[in-house]
């Protein structure tokens, strides 16, 4: 650390204190005995989301949470775990250490978490995210979920009106 008074490079830490936002350090210059304070803070990346049409916008935790809440409307499992799900996705995105992430990557992560948490919320989110063109595409996705759950040993009955 360079002394702001004499520009010498030798300083020592006299006192160090931590709080939630920063670490505060009192320093003393070894050359001129000038005392000063420095702060260490976490610098969060400005994560940008690249949309399908090429637009870029800042990552919004609130927007992601709103989408998950909408997919999980009236679903207790999603309501209880939505915050943790969004926190986990946000952590994973920042852990990539990239400046940009595609909306497709975010959607895939949400689908992965929702598939484990609540199949109905998963289908709701997938129907918007994947833009199902017709009922066959929706039925195909439902078939995949049913097959996965049957592999896991769960028995699910689907009633169809004829």
Q: Write the pLDDT tens digit of every residue in 24-70.
A: 999 999 999 999 999 987 766 688 999 989 999 999 989 999 999 99
pLDDT digits (tens, 9 = 90+) for 104-145: 899 889 988 988 888 889 888 888 877 777 788 778 878 887
Nearest Cα residue to 55 out of 87, 102, 96, 124: 102
pTM above 0.75, yes or no: no
* DSSP tally for the chain: helices H, then strands E: 5, 6
- Domain ranges, ordered by start, for the chain: 11-41, 48-151
CA distance 58 to 111: 21
């Amino acid at each position: 650390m360079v002394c702001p008074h004499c520009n010498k490079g030798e300083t020592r830490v006299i006192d160090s204190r931590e709080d939630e936002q920063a670490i505060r350090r009192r320093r003393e210059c070894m050359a001129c005995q000038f005392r000063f304070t420095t702060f260490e803070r976490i610098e969060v990346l400005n994560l940008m989301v690249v949309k399908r049409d090429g637009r870029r916008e800042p990552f919004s935790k609130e927007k992601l949470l709103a989408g998950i809440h909408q997919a999980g409307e009236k679903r207790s499992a999603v309501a209880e775990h939505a915050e943790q799900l969004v926190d986990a996705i946000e952590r994973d995105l920042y852990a990539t250490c990239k400046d940009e992430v595609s909306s497709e990557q975010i959607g895939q992560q949400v689908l992965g978490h929702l598939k484990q948490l609540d199949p109905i919320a998963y289908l709701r989110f997938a129907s918007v995210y994947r833009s199902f063109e017709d009922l066959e595409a929706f039925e195909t996705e439902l078939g995949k979920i049913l097959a996965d759950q049957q592999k896991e040993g769960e028995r699910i009955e689907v009633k169809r009106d004829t």
